[in-house]
Amino acid sequence: MSLVDFVKGLPRKALRRYRKLPLYGKLVIWLWVVFEICLVIALIIISPSRVAQFMYDNAEKLARYPFGWLLVAILVVAVSFPPMHGHTTITTLCGFAWGLRGFFIAAPASLVGAVIVFCTLRYSFKERLRAFSKSNEKWQALETVIAAKGLPLIILIRMSPLPPWVYSNILFASIGSVSVWQFMTATFFVFPKIFLHVFIGSRIAALSDGETRGNMDTSTKILNGALIGGGMVIAFVASWFVYTSIQNHIRRLSGVPAETDELAAEALEEDAPLLAADSDV
């Protein structure tokens, strides 16, 4: 899959996932869209520089607050549960408020949140998962492939941008052959991406404070802007590379029938059974 095909396919995948969400999930999405629209309007009216300064000042207050780190950590855990969104935003906020030290808030909180979601869903929906697996050929193929290849494949799938963070938590909770320790180990491999979010947040903060920005020379401002843009490009290209590699890897696994490989690759592009609003199980 080329980078262009990957970009073109994102809206289609997002629409498919949206259609399969339950009513409350769709409501959350629309509330989020309305919020983002209001945010953009407010940004235009107030002016970007004043908004950036306001955010910087409040981020500084949050960083000085004795339990500010705990509040943000709780938010990271909360957005790990479906149908919540915003993991990338909050991990970027860690960098905005605490600089690179924010990684030591974002990474452990992400791990804790993911494990809590995994265990909660895994042990609350055992019967539903078992029934779904027996009735879905693609899901049986995915479980077969993961059981055969084990931790290396689990790590690759965990590093993939699709499914996104919260849906990835649900995906692995839905696969009976994935143990808690394997899921935790695979989640450690997401830490470099979390660090990149924190780094981008720290660079945005450097450009948000009027006083700091005023003391920068032009070359430093350009460098910070380039680091932010470069970080975003690296994150996107790496996401495309990992996702494409996983699809190609699954479709060419040795020791597994080609039909099973293909069904497993297709299953990764579909919703986990715990997301199915119209499931009969």
Distance CA(59)–CA(98), nearest Å, equals 8
* Separation CA 143–CA 147 (nearest Å): 6
Q: Mean pLDDT lowest for which of 41-45, 49-53, 275-279? A: 275-279
pLDDT at 117 over 60: yes
User: What's the CA gap between 180 and 173, in Å, rounded?
Assistant: 9
| 128: its two tokens | 């539903």
Mean pLDDT of the 80-96 span:
86
Nearest to 20 by CA among 280, 279, 241, 208: 279
Tell me the pLDDT band of 180, cut-offs 50, 70 and 90: very high
pTM above 0.85, yes or no: no
pLDDT, tens digit, for every residue of 6-25?
566 667 766 776 776 677 76
Which pLDDT band holds residue 85 (cuts at 50, 70, 90)?
confident
Phi, psi (degrees; rounded to nearest 5) at 203 = -75, -35
